Amino acid sequence: MRIGFDAKRIFQNTTGLGNYSRTVVKNLSEFYPENDYYLFTPTLKNKLPFAFNKNTHMVVGRGSVWRSFGVRRDIVKHNVDIYHGLSNEIPFTLKISHIKSVVTIHDLIFDHFPEYYPGVDRKFYDLKSKFAVKNSDLIFAASEATKIDIIKFYHIAPAKIKVIYQSCEDLFYDRVTPEEINQQLKNYNLPSEYILYVGSINERKNLLNICKAYLIIRKENRVPCIVVGNGKEYSEKVKSFIHENKLQDFFIFLENVPTEHLPALYQKAISFIYPSLYEGFGIPVLEAMVSGCPVMTSGVSSLPEVGGNAAFYFNPSNPEDIAEKINSVIISDTIRNEMRQRGFEQIKKFNKQDIAAKIMDGYRSINST
């Protein structure tokens, strides 16, 4: 088969949707080398972040609307059998060429929390996602939670939706040496004990409630929280709360941390904490478990699907509950070891070869009809 991909995120996003897109293409190229894979990108903002295989080809577009409209001509030109929209959208004109299509829907957060999005942006996201699920031949949902949302908000038949989880990048499976970890701690001026947060700093990610939980935890049980992520207005709100409540000794902010530095930070952390109010999948939870880091996270949306019985869950809107879980994990080596071992079992559900096989099965199912 000749399979095309919306590759914008591969080149322009260093986290989240970019990581998903890169792992999908890398894994398919590795495990199914008999196919040809075409990466359609509107611009070449960054160099390809992984080595080309001989079966992977790049097609660079022209103009801001090429991805939604003009790309169809290039897809036809390269005789693509199936086009995969890797992030909630497909070209508006694709169907007139009778080319089969798949779309991955990661989440419909803009429908759950419209107040977090400017009105124009929300309507644009909704338009693209609604068009994609109605006009594609098959939908990959990032989780059962996302599948439920697709059915609820867009009234799509469940049979058209296939839940396929993500895998995470290979580097998180590699063990970092103690010397390398110590070098990272030195580079970032970090303490030897800490809990870790990785993610954007915005209202949905809910970092402020970790800060509120720290006011409840007894001082002698507090360990610093390393916050890896970028933010704007909400980030300033969080930092103001920390300053007003004299918590500066317990929160360290790191911005623009390269992905290759994250395994060391995960592997050294006492625990990983992720208090998000809603996730379509929640890749940092998987990255943490793969790294052998015990996970504390919200018991909402897709997060229990990812964490399984390995994570400690809390109500993300309840700082007292968050504080209780932090306290339990911090003070007990036994609990952390049990969480770590359960995590190693849980990550077997996200094996990259199994996930690639499910994606390929999806392609074959529509290519044969």
Distances (CA, A) of 351 to 74, 291, 313, 356: 33, 14, 23, 9
What region does 318 belong to: left with phi over 0, alpha with psi -120 to 50, or beta? beta
Side by side, the strands of the sheet bearing 251-254 are: 251-254, 225-228, 195-198, 271-274, 295-298, 312-314
Specify the pLDDT at position 51. 60
pTM value? Answer: 0.93
**CATH code of the domain made up of 2-167+351-367:** 3.40.50.2000
pLDDT digits (tens, 9 = 90+) for 42-81: 887 655 655 667 889 989 988 778 989 999 999 999 999 9
Is 2-167+351-367's fold the same as 170-349's? yes
pLDDT digits (tens, 9 = 90+) for 299-337: 999 999 999 999 999 999 999 999 999 999 999 999 999
Specify the pLDDT at position 270. 97
Average pLDDT over residues 265-287: 97
Specify the pLDDT at position 46. 58
Two structure tokens written together for 138: 């098959």
Q: How far apart are CA 360 and CA 354, in angstroms?
A: 10
**CATH code of the domain made up of 170-349:** 3.40.50.2000
Q: How far apart are CA 269 and CA 65, in angstroms?
A: 44
- In angstroms, how far apart are the furthest CA atoms of the chain? 66
Q: How many C-beta neighbours within 10 Å does residue 79 have?
A: 11
Q: Which helix (H) or strand (E) holds 314?
A: strand 312-314
pLDDT digits (tens, 9 = 90+) for 164-209: 999 999 999 999 999 999 999 999 999 999 999 999 999 999 999 9
Specify the pLDDT at position 12. 81
Domain locations along the chain? 2-167+351-367, 170-349
Average pLDDT, the chain: 94
Confidence of residue 220 (pLDDT cuts 50, 70, 90): confident
- What's the chain's Rg over C-alpha atoms? 21
